[in-house]
Amino acid sequence: MTGSRNTHPTSGGRKVREIDLHLRQGQGGAEALERQLSRLRGELNSAIRAGEKEIVFIHGSGSGRLRNEIYSVITAEYPSCSCHDAPFARFGFNGATIVTIRR
């Protein structure tokens, strides 16, 4: 994975963590999706512990498989969270998912 982690201020001035789940070239293979989902879980658990309200996962548009898996994981494993597509103007069509963490 690219390992990129950035923060981006929202319109309210709050900083939101952005996690890039893209793989580096040549990192494909059977375990690739599981590595990406493991990173998703680790970063989301960290955000929950830190009391963050939102986190953005950048996955690209591609075939939509990773995006669909992200939605499935959030729905099944994180009842205190919801997710939706990130803004088109910033991330492109279905290029990233915003996870909202409720208390």
pLDDT in tens, 48-65: 999 999 999 999 877 778
* Alpha-carbon span 62 to 78, nearest angstrom: 25
* Alpha-carbon span 63 to 14, nearest angstrom: 32
Q: pLDDT over 70 for what percent of the chain?
A: 80
Residue 67's pLDDT band (cuts 50, 70, 90)? very high
CB contact at 8 A, 17 and 47: yes
Of 6, 8, 4, which Cα lies nearest the Cα of 23?
4
Q: What is the pLDDT of residue 15?
A: 81
* pLDDT surpassing 60 at residue 17: yes
CB atoms within 10 A of CB 8: 11
Span 27-44, mean pLDDT?
88
